[in-house]
Amino acid sequence: MTGTYGINYGKISDNIPAPEDVLRLLRMNKIKNIRIYDADSRVLRAFSGSGIEISVCLPNELLKDVSLNGSIALEWIQVNLQPYLPGTSIRGIAVGNEILGGDTSISEALVPAVRSVYRALRRLGLTNTIEVSTPHSEAIFSSTYPPSNGTFKESMMPYLGPLLRFFNRVGSPLYINAYPFLAYKFDPSHIDINYALFQPNKGIVDPKTKLHYDNMFDAMVDATYVALEKLGYTKMQVIVSETGWASKGDDNEAGADPKNARTYNFNLHKRLMKKKGTPYRPKMMAKGYVFALFNENLKPGPTSERNFGLFKADGSIAYDIGFKGLVSSASSKCKIRKLQIIALFLTNLEQGWIQD
């Protein structure tokens, strides 16, 4: 990741713009780094020559096979990635997504799968341009508060230990999915929402390091650096692979509304574009990918899962953080109103309330 700010381009939806239009949207807003959750040929083809750096994902369901047979990793890269190189700037392969903390059998396959993918890239002469990584959820931590208490779960170490040793050897960063939104959602009575949203607040002072934190994002990143340091990895970079705030949620999802989503994402963009480090690692630029580009209407789970997008499905902005949409918000509202009127007309016609 050569920039400091990127976006996750998820596609669990049946109504978002085509990849060619997505490329236009990203260019309009000068976004140069994206992550996708597959290796969609339509996206890789459309982004050829764009210069936008893409991290693709080897799906979770392939991990076991790839871990047992290196030729599968080689074939996957040759079929899914090589045809688009070097025109499309594929810069990373995420081997699975949030593997640790879930199915133990897949956890056991993670390190062998990562090694298989790396060996395949090395055989193809691509290790200098394509990075191997895997993003983790907060499930890998036993403690993150205060940041100086950052510690990985002991139960994760049989998998995380060899993974970190391998990443340290090949120079890969550690990717984490860090969501102040989720922390606030589960404990709104004890977390200052302004601290979660990068808004003015008294913050916290870490009793051990004496460092002051005025936002939870930096604290989460520094807790990861501390956890790495406790294992002897003082130079490994931490990159946030996902972070964001839902603009809508269920009744029990505290803080999920457009105002908070706008505030978090506006301030996150401003913070990352400063290209500064964190209190604990001031010389290591903070980098992150916001989740997500679009609201995805087919995502399962609570309402918030379908409302993390910076943009609505039609390409208009979900709220204003300074980005431009493919269509204006006014045009989007007008179109919705027209569809509502048409639907009402058809309903009345079916019920016989409108005569021929």
Active site residues: 98, 242
Element (H, E) at 241: strand 238-243
Q: How many CB atoms lie within 10 A of CB 207?
A: 10
Query: What angle do helix axes 104-123 and 70-80 make, rounded to 10 degrees?
Result: 60
Q: Locate tokens 């929402």: which residue? A: 193
Q: How many CB atoms lie within 10 A of CB 275?
A: 12
φ/ψ of 333, rounded to 5, equals: -65, -40
268 contacts: CB under 8 Å, gap ≥ 6? 198, 217, 243, 288, 290
Phi-psi region of 216 (alpha: psi -120 to 50; beta: other; left: phi over 0): alpha
How open is the CA angle 218-224-227, to the nearest 5 degrees?
140
CA distance 291 to 245: 8
Query: What angle do helix axes 157-170 and 104-123 make, rounded to 10 degrees?
Result: 10
330 contacts: CB under 8 Å, gap ≥ 6? none
DSSP notation for 37-100: SS--HHHHHHTTTS--EEEEEE-GGGHHHHHH-HHHHHHHHHHHTGGGTTTS-EEEEEESSS-T
CA distance 143 to 153: 8
